[in-house]
Structure 1
Amino acid sequence: MSAELEFSQLDVDAEYIEQRCEQLVSRELIIPIVKDGEMYEITRLGLAYLRGDLDAGHLRVWS
């Protein structure tokens, strides 16, 4: 069993993560669950994509 990766061990900054989350929101794969957008919930589309039940070609184009 592998150890969980700590956020501080990731080689990305918070701005990059925020940008990626915005892209996932625009493709309706996640939705913000609080006003400031720091917490997200995966959508049905997001779950279907992760399960392999949804082809990426059916998603909105990256903005």
Structure 2
Amino acid sequence: MPIITMEGPELTKEQKAKLIAEFTNKASEITEIPERAFSVLIKENPAENVGVAGKQLSEMKE
């Protein structure tokens, strides 16, 4: 069972649904593995949990 993992910012329910559908469709198309075999995991990271250049991403957005 192939697993696709996306790690990034917090997303809306609609964005998650679109990512899951499109990741699954494209991966199936490229690999010729049926869509039903794929699982998609979305790991969300709040901006205060991400550091870039020694600063929290939430600080950099302000």
**Highest RCO, 1 vs 2 (Cα 8 Å, sep ≥ 6):** 2
TM-score w.r.t. length of structure 1 = 0.29
Structure with greater helix share of residues? 2
**Structure exhibiting the larger radius of gyration computed from Cα positions:** 2
